[in-house]
C-alpha cells in the first residue's frame, strides 16, 4: 500500500502546527509519508528551525507514519512549491496563517501565494479544525471549472476509502437536468470503485455546503477556486474563501491552472 505523501510547511508556531489535526487521522486509513519543511528567511536562525523540525519529526514517527524533515533558504511560497514537486507530494497541507499573524485569512499570506503557484492540491484550514469523518464533500455547480476539483479529491478519497458526496446548492427548485448531471458524474465515479452519494440543497451556497458537511461529519470539503486568468485576488469574495473561513473541517482547494496564467507558467519552467 503506497503511503500518502504530504508536504507540511512548519515555522515553529502553534498555528502552523495545528494542520496536524487535519492530516494525522489519515494514518488510520493509509500509511503516511510526512515531509516537514522549514523555509529559513534572512535573520532567522537556521539551527533553531532545524532543531525544532528534528524534534517534531521524531515525535510524529510511528509504524504508520514516516516523518522526516528538511530546511532551505529563500522565499517561502516558491520554496514550498519546488519541494512539493521534488518530493512528488500528493498534496500540500498548511494552516491559513502562521507566525506572520495575517488577519485576513488568505490574502497576502503565504498560504494564498502557495495556492496560486502550486501544481498539486492544497489542504488547508483554520487553526483548531480537525478531520472528524470519512465523507468528502464536493461542491458542484454544473460548470466545468467546478468539476475540475474531482481530479484532485478523487485520488485522496480512493486512497483512504472515503465516500465522495456530490453536492449541488440551488437558489430555487433544482432543475431536472441538474439531477441528471449529478447522476452522470456519480456513475463515472462509481466506475472507478469509489463510493459516491448525491445531494441537492436549496439556499445560500456557503451556508448549505457547510451545513451538509456538518450533517455527514465531513473529513474534507473540496471546492474549486476562480484563479484561471491569473487574477491577483484568487479567493477574496468567493464561496471558496467563505467556506474556508467558517468550515470546521479541512478544505481542499485547487485553482484552475491555465497556460496563460503567469504563475502557472513560472512553475512549469521551474
Could you report the per-residue pLDDT of 20-41, keeping only the tens digit for each? 988 999 999 999 999 999 998 8
Query: Do 244 and 221 share a structural domain?
Result: yes
Do residue 71 and residue 50 come from a single domain? yes
Please tell me which of 47-61, 121-135, 236-250 the model is most confident about, judged by mean pLDDT: 47-61
Both 76 and 142 in one domain: the answer is no
Structural domain including 96 reads 4-125
Residues 175 and 197 occupy one common structural domain: yes
pLDDT of residue 174: 59
Domain count, the chain: 2
The residue ranking higher by pLDDT, 267 or 176, is 176
Does 98 share its domain with 169?
A: no
**DSSP state letters, the chain:** -PPEEEEEE--S-HHHHTTHHHHGGGGGTS-EEEEEEEEEPTTS-HHHHHHHHHHHHHHH-BTTEEEEEEEEES-HHHHHHHHHHHTT-SEEEEES--TT--SSSSTTSHHHHHHHH-SS-EEEE-TT-----SEEEEE--S-HHHHTHHHHHHHHHHHHTPEEEEEEEESSSPPHHHHHHHHHHHHHHHTTT-EEEEEEEES-HHHHHHHHHHHTTEEEEEEE-S-TT--S-SSTTSHHHHHHHH-SS-EEEEPPP-TT-HHHHHHHH-
Among the listed ranges 59-68, 100-109, 136-145, 238-247, which one has the minimum average pLDDT value? 100-109
188 and 104 within one domain: no
The last residue of a domain, from among 105, 125, 145:
125
Clarify whether residues 211 and 95 are in a common domain. Answer: no
pLDDT of residue 224: 82
User: Which range, 74-88, 90-104, 168-182, 254-268, has the best average confidence (pLDDT)?
Assistant: 74-88
Domain membership of residue 269 (yes or no) is no
Domain boundary among 106, 125, 144: 125
Which whole number is the average pLDDT over 102-130?
75
Tell me, yes or no, whether 265 lies in a domain: no
What integer is the mean pLDDT of 250-262?
A: 62
Share of the chain above pLDDT 70, in %: 83
Do 116 and 164 sit in the same domain of this protein? Answer: no
Structural domain contains residue 268:
no
Residue 270 within a domain: no
Assess whether pLDDT exceeds 50 at residue 104: no
CATH number of the domain enclosing 249: 3.40.50.620
Residue 266 domain-assigned (yes or no):
no
205, 110: one domain: no
Give me the percent of the chain exceeding a pLDDT of 90.
54
As a whole number, the mean pLDDT across the chain is: 83
* Predicted local distance difference test score (pLDDT) of residue 223: 87
Asked if the structure places residue 239 within a domain, the reply is yes
75 within some domain: yes
Looking at residue 255, its pLDDT comes to 67
Give tens-digit pLDDT for 137-188: 999 988 887 888 999 999 999 999 999 999 999 876 656 788 899 999 999 9
Are 141 and 256 part of one and the same domain? yes
Both 30 and 109 in one domain: the answer is yes
Based on the fold, state whether residues 99 and 139 are members of the same structural domain. Answer: no
Mean local confidence (pLDDT), 204-222: 94
Q: Is residue 25 part of a domain?
A: yes
> What is the predicted pLDDT for the residue at 173?
64
Domain boundary pick from 76, 91, 125? 125
Amino acid at each position: 500500500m503506497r503511503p500518502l505523501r504530504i508536504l507540511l510547511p512548519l515555522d515553529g508556531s502553534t498555528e502552523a502546527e495545528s494542520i496536524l489535526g487535519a492530516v494525522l487521522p489519515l494514518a488510520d486509513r493509509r500509511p503516511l509519508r510526512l515531509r516537514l519543511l522549514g523555509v529559513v528567511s534572512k535573520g532567522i536562525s537556521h539551527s533553531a528551525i532545524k532543531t525544532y523540525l528534528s524534534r517534531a519529526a521524531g515525535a510524529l514517527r510511528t509504524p504508520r507514519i514516516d516523518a522526516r524533515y528538511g530546511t532551505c533558504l529563500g522565499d517561502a511560497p516558491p520554496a514550498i512549491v519546488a519541494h512539493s514537486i521534488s518530493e512528488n507530494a500528493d498534496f500540500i497541507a498548511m494552516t491559513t496563517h502562521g507566525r506572520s499573524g495575517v488577519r485576513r485569512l488568505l490574502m497576502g499570506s503565504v498560504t494564498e501565494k502557495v495556492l496560486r503557484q502550486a501544481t498539486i492540491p492544497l489542504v488547508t484550514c483554520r487553526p483548531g479544525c480537525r478531520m472528524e469523518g470519512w465523507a468528502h464533500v464536493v461542491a458542484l455547480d454544473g460548470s466545468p471549472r467546478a468539476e475540475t476539483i474531482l481530479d484532485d479529491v478523487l485520488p485522496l478519497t480512493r486512497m483512504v476509502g472515503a465516500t465522495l458526496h456530490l453536492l449541488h446548492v440551488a437558489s430555487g427548485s433544482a432543475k431536472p437536468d441538474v439531477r441528471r448531471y449529478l447522476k452522470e458524474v456519480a456513475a463515472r465515479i462509481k466506475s472507478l470503485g469509489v463510493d459516491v452519494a448525491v445531494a441537492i440543497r436549496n439556499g445560500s451556497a456557503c451556508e448549505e455546503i457547510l451545513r451538509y458537511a456538518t450533517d455527514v461529519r465531513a473529513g474534507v470539503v473540496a471546492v474549486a477556486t476562480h484563479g484561471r486568468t491569473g487574477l491577483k485576488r484568487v479567493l477574496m469574495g468567493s464561496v471558496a474563501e467563505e467556506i474556508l473561513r467558517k468550515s470546521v473541517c479541512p478544505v481542499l482547494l485547487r485553482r484552475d491552472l491555465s497556460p496563460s496564467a503567469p504563475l502557472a507558467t513560472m512553475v512549469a519552467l521551474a
